[in-house]
């Protein structure tokens, strides 16, 4: 069976002040063409279909068009909700859509209810594990702890239990939206840390033939059976070095996997330039970036006059300007962005406590209160998206 694994479309998202709906439309065209020309048997979309819980109308229209075009090809689609999606909204009409071959898995209750497709070798069971917010699903799954690892392990326990009831030789595919240990993240992904821990071990997914992962925007292979497709477009300059693609996966009769990367169309390359303003404006080697979306980091010790306007004369598509002076009369300077880079919201809050208390940071008990407060805010947001009437 031939599968096309994709994820993290983030329909409705832009890049700084540039709308990307046209580029997302071009990706959909590429997706549909690939399904037709590569004789794909099923399309897998591993979450974050939309960029936010209430997407703009243009994004909804594009999603509707995509489903209609895939259904017209007669190719089944299996899709789960991600942490950016409103699971309840995305799942509206799931029963009706299933009749057209579009199978939405947005509810934890459906984790062990597979979509079963057949090929010449027999059945393949597709299990969809949507993004599982630990505090909201721990009870329904009977998980031992309120962590991503615990709830995914409980969900996979149900998957394996159902798979054990299937005819011998049934192959299995799982779609999941999570941060799996060993994956490489970037600035575009929303933090899903719970209790200080965001990742889950790859061993949670043992016992199935292929796992189509979503959430991380870089295409990557954790094991031959465990892969991220990554996002089809770059959604921040931290993705400038990403090769955007999808996985074309062949699952043979014995459940063995082979996969090929298929590149996605690039609307415009991204470039991260760094140096003094005069150097960026005069360096001939940078001519190749005049058509790129540009992030320029200026290292001048004194902020130059009208830097954005001057950069735009050479780089018409410059989108982001960062100041990072390397030296001043007082010596090296660390920018605010540098001081925060790589730090979680909780760590920033802990630093603030130390700042306002003359260097005396939070106690162990206070750290626990801060962690619980941040976890509570995220859970409240997730509950609001799940049931906006509350």
What percentage of the chain carries pLDDT values higher than 90?
80
pTM for this predicted structure: 0.85
How many domains would you assign to the chain?
3
Cβ-contact 172, 125 below 8 angstroms: yes
Instruction: For residue 373, give the 3-state DSSP assignment.
Output: helix
Radius of gyration, alpha carbons of the chain: 23
Query: Please, what is the average pLDDT of the chain?
Result: 91
Beta strand spans in 7-121 (E): 14-15, 18-19, 42-46, 77-80, 102-105, 115-119
CA distances, 112 to each of 89, 145, 299 (Å): 21, 20, 54
- Is pLDDT at 193 greater than 90 in this prediction? no
- Residue found by looking up tokens 């615990």 in the block: 150
Domain boundary among 215, 245, 263: 263
- Residue found by looking up tokens 């303003």 in the block: 277
- Is pLDDT at 330 greater than 80 in this prediction? no
Q: What is the pLDDT of residues 280-300, one digit of tens each?
A: 999 999 999 999 999 999 999
Provide the token pair at 359. 């260097």
CA distance 268 to 263: 14
What percentage of the chain carries pLDDT values higher than 70?
91
- Is pLDDT at 390 greater than 50 in this prediction? no
Quote the DSSP letter at residue 106. Answer: -
- Is pLDDT at 377 greater than 90 in this prediction? no
How buried is residue 299: exposed, middle or buried, by Cβ count under 10 Å (0-12/13-18/19+)?
A: middle
Confidence of residue 8 (pLDDT cuts 50, 70, 90): very high
Q: What is the mean pLDDT of residues 377-385?
A: 63
Quote the DSSP letter at residue 194. Answer: B
Pair (298, 371) in one structural domain: no
Beta strand spans in 235-314 (E): 245-251, 257-263, 270-275, 293-298
- Is pLDDT at 388 greater than 70 in this prediction? no
Pair (239, 292) in one structural domain: no
Pair (382, 330) in one structural domain: no
Q: What is the pLDDT of residues 54-83, one digit of tens each?
A: 999 999 999 999 999 999 999 999 999 999
* CATH number where 301 lies: 3.30.370
How buried is residue 185: exposed, middle or buried, by Cβ count under 10 Å (0-12/13-18/19+)?
A: middle
Q: H helices within 113-258, ranges in order?
A: 134-141, 148-164
Q: What is the mean pLDDT of residues 118-144?
A: 96
Pair (292, 229) in one structural domain: no
Pair (354, 305) in one structural domain: no
- pLDDT in the model for residue 194: 73
Cβ-contact 246, 4 below 8 angstroms: yes
Pair (154, 174) in one structural domain: yes
Pair (10, 64) in one structural domain: yes
- Is pLDDT at 386 greater than 70 in this prediction? no
Confidence of residue 350 (pLDDT cuts 50, 70, 90): confident
Q: What is the pLDDT of residues 257-267, one digit of tens each?
A: 999 999 999 99
Instruction: For residue 126, give the 3-state DSSP assignment.
Output: strand
Strands 210-214 and 226-228, by their bridges, are: parallel
- pLDDT in the model for residue 140: 94
Pair (176, 160) in one structural domain: yes
- pLDDT in the model for residue 263: 98
CA distance 221 to 224: 6
Pair (296, 150) in one structural domain: no
Provide the token pair at 314. 């050479």
Confidence of residue 389 (pLDDT cuts 50, 70, 90): very low
More confident call, 193 vs 127:
127
Show the domain range for 379.
345-386
Greatest Cα pair distance in the chain: 75
Q: What is the pLDDT of residues 76-120, one digit of tens each?
A: 999 999 999 999 999 999 999 999 999 999 999 999 999 999 999
Classify the C-alpha dihedral 345-56-236-30 as positive or negative.
positive
């Amino acid at each position: 069976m031939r599968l096309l694994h994709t994820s993290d479309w983030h329909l409705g998202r832009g890049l700084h002040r540039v709308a990307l709906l046209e580029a997302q439309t071009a990706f959909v065209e590429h997706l549909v063409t690939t399904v037709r020309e590569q004789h794909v048997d099923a399309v897998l979309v591993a979450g974050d279909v939309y960029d936010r819980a209430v997407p703009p109308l243009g994004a909804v229209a594009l999603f509707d068009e995509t489903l209609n075009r895939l259904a017209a090809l007669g190719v089944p689609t299996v899709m789960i909700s991600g942490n950016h999606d409103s699971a309840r909204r995305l799942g509206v009409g799931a029963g009706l859509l299933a009749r057209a071959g579009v199978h939405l898995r947005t509810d934890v209750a459906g984790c062990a209810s597979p979509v079963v497709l057949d090929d010449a070798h027999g059945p393949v069971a597709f299990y969809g594990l949507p993004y599982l917010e630990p505090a909201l699903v721990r009870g329904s799954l009977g998980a031992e702890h309120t962590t991503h690892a615990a709830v995914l392990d409980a969900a996979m326990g149900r998957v394996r239990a159902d798979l054990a009831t299937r005819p011998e030789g049934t192959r299995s595919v799982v779609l999941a939206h999570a941060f799996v240990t060993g994956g490489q993240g970037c600035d575009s992904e929303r933090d899903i840390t719970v209790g200080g821990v965001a990742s889950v071990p790859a061993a949670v997914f043992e016992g199935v033939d292929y796992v189509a992962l979503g959430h991380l925007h870089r295409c990557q292979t954790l094991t031959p059976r465990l892969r991220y497709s990554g996002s089809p477009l770059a959604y921040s300059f931290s993705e400038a070095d990403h090769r955007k693609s999808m996985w074309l996966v062949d699952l043979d009769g014995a459940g063995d996997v082979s996969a090929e990367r298929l590149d996605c169309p690039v609307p415009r390359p991204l470039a991260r330039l760094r140096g003094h303003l005069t150097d960026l404006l005069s360096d001939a080697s940078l001519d190749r970036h005049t058509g790129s979306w540009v992030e320029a980091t200026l290292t001048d010790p004194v902020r130059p006059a009208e830097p954005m306007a001057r950069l735009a004369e050479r780089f018409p598509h410059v989108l982001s300007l960062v100041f990072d002076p390397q030296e001043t009369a007082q010596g090296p300077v660390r920018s605010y962005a540098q001081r925060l880079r790589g730090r979680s919201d909780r760590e920033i809050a802990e630093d603030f406590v130390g700042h306002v208390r003359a260097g005396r940071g939070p106690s162990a008990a206070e750290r626990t209160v801060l962690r619980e407060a941040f976890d509570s805010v995220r859970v409240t947001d997730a509950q609001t998206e799940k049931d906006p009437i509350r």
